[in-house]
Structure 1
Amino acid sequence: MSKSQRTISTTASIGYFIISLILNAFGNVLTLETSSHIHPAILGSAYWTAAEADLGHAVLGNNSWVLFWAFFLLGVLIAFFNAILMHKLDWRRIGGNIVFMLPFALLIQWFSNLCDAFFPQSNTFYSNICYICLNFFGVFLIGVAISIYQRVNIVLHAQDDLFQIIRFRYTKGNATIAMWLSYLPPTVMGILAWMLTGRIENIGIGTIFAFIFQGYFTGWADQHVFPRLKHQALDVGN
């Protein structure tokens, strides 16, 4: 089996990765915070974000570190699910997923604390429209971030590694179809959260928007955001 070569330096790879990590965490928090400051069941957040936040609150309650633990622990589970899809237990790949998820989960918690103090509760039509636009922009940032660090391919978040495995192993590179298929695990998480609590939160029009367009944003960013950055050392198995 051959692997595509790296065409950028280590320094450039790390720079791109840091940019994408910050964009992804901030985009996720934008969807959560704008949703919670209108009504989480009306606006909602990005698909994975909604499922992990809902299941985290269902299992862990509302403690101050719930987002960190939910995003980190569920990410570890997805890393092992990826190993099943790859038909091999690649500890280096799983370790890379965990290396990504630790600072990512910390950034999620930090941005959440920051935005929660900064964003006022929405109580007017115009503020609602503003929050809806920010929510959609958060989804866009997530799609762009996924595109960047998938192309850099140093380490990936487990859920985005899942997307990349499906994209290049099962859907012949189609980002939109791969994104939809990768939404099966968070769908199961959302159902479990509903079974545990009897309610659905963080799922609304923003979630639908993310479901439809996030994969498209990733494919678009491949061509238009850092267009000279190509997929590095791509390896998704035979």
Structure 2
Amino acid sequence: MEERRTKSDISMTQSVIFFILSLVINSLGNVLTIVTSAHVHPGFLGSAYWTAAQTNLGNALGVNLFWTFLILGMLISLLNAALVGKFDIKRILGNLIFMVPFSALIQVFADFFMPLMPEATTWPMLILYTLINFLGVCLIGVAISIYQRVNLVLHPADDLMQILRFKYCRGNAGVAMWLSYIPPTVMAIIAYLINSKFQNFGLGTLFAFFFQGGITGWADKHIFPNLKHQRLEVGAKA
């Protein structure tokens, strides 16, 4: 069991570098799932689980993606505060700080990759796009591992997973990831009740559902293995 850390044993410069690297990896991974899904038969691949669920609910409510992700992200931040047992304004502001560059990088990568990738019209292309989609999920899992260990600022969904992992799941990344999928599952169900559609869910979404948490746990041990979890809440177990 890893020694508990309420402070950081790496410098702020190191923390920022690791955070920026993980942010780029995460944005790239998300875009790879989005772009590959957009270039194959609708519903075959799908995007990462949270992305798919929030997009579904936004479409069902007729709200654009910016407001959908912002409002739902803030609601998750409030859920996080309830699970931690205190309203930490710094933590919530950190969630917001994360979402701004993350959204910008998503747009940059999407603008770059979308016109480069043709429609998947043959079986070899479909297999290639499926592998790229899965690679995107793996990159997301690795990125989550890095910025959760740095624990400088987090996306609300990953902050939720971090809280569940170390406060309720004894450090188990896989179990915490599955528990953190309860809110987006509720979002998807609400969306289906409104418009009777499951959009952006597919093979890649299932891959993310079953394996992304395990990939994060694997990355903790094998990607920058000397980087330990920083700034954990008192009582957390790593």
TM-score, normalised via structure 1 length: 0.92
CA distance in structure 2 between the aligned counterparts of 1:210 and 1:190, rounded to whole angstroms: 15
What is the deviation of 1:195?
Answer: 2.0
Render the CA deviation track for 1:133-190: whole Å, top value 9, x for unaligned. 0000000000000000000111011000000000001110000000000000000111
Aligned to 1:86: 84
CA distance in structure 1 between the aligned counterparts of 2:110 and 2:62, rounded to whole angstroms: 17
Equivalent position amino acid for 1:130 in 2: L
Instruction: Classify 1:70/1:118 alpha carbon distance in 2 versus 1 (closer, same or farther; 3 Å).
Output: farther
Instruction: Classify 1:111/1:197 alpha carbon distance in 2 versus 1 (closer, same or farther; 3 Å).
Output: farther
What is the identity percentage for the equivalent residue pairs of Structure 1 and Structure 2?
55
CA distance in structure 1 between the aligned counterparts of 2:38 and 2:77, rounded to whole angstroms: 29
Aligned to 1:118: 116
Aligned to 1:134: 132
Equivalent position amino acid for 2:16 in 1: I
What is the deviation of 1:121?
Answer: 1.1
What is the deviation of 1:69?
Answer: 3.4
Aligned to 1:26: 28
CA distance in structure 2 between the aligned counterparts of 1:167 and 1:58, rounded to whole angstroms: 31
Aligned to 1:218: 216
Render the CA deviation track for 1:97-141: whole Å, top value 9, x for unaligned. 111111112222332233222221111101100100000000000
Alignment pair present for 1:15 and 2:17: yes
What is the deviation of 1:31?
Answer: 0.9
CA distance in structure 2 between the aligned counterparts of 1:195 and 1:115, rounded to whole angstroms: 33
Q: Check the 8 A contact 2:6/2:234 in 1, yes or no.
A: no
CA distance in structure 2 between the aligned counterparts of 1:198 and 1:118, rounded to whole angstroms: 33
Higher mean alpha-carbon deviation, 185-194 vs 228-237, is at 228-237
Q: Check the 8 A contact 1:140/1:214 in 2, yes or no.
A: yes
Q: Check the 8 A contact 1:67/1:108 in 2, yes or no.
A: no
Equivalent position amino acid for 1:5 in 2: K
Q: In structure 1, list runs of 5 or more residues that go unmatched.
A: none
CA distance in structure 2 between the aligned counterparts of 1:155 and 1:16, rounded to whole angstroms: 11
Q: How many residues align?
A: 233
CA distance in structure 2 between the aligned counterparts of 1:114 and 1:233, rounded to whole angstroms: 36
CA distance in structure 2 between the aligned counterparts of 1:33 and 1:193, rounded to whole angstroms: 22
CA distance in structure 1 between the aligned counterparts of 2:29 and 2:55, rounded to whole angstroms: 14
**What is the Cα-based RMSD across aligned positions, in Å?**
1.6
Q: How does 1:170-209 map to 2 (within 5 A)?
A: 170-209=168-207
Aligned to 2:37: 35
Render the CA deviation track for 1:190-210: whole Å, top value 9, x for unaligned. 112222222111111111111
Aligned to 2:229: 231
Aligned to 1:153: 151
Aligned to 2:75: 77
What is the deviation of 1:3?
Answer: 4.7
Q: How does 1:41-60 map to 2 (within 5 A)?
A: 41-60=43-62
TM-score, normalised via structure 2 length: 0.92
What is the deviation of 1:29?
Answer: 1.4
Equivalent position amino acid for 1:162 in 2: L
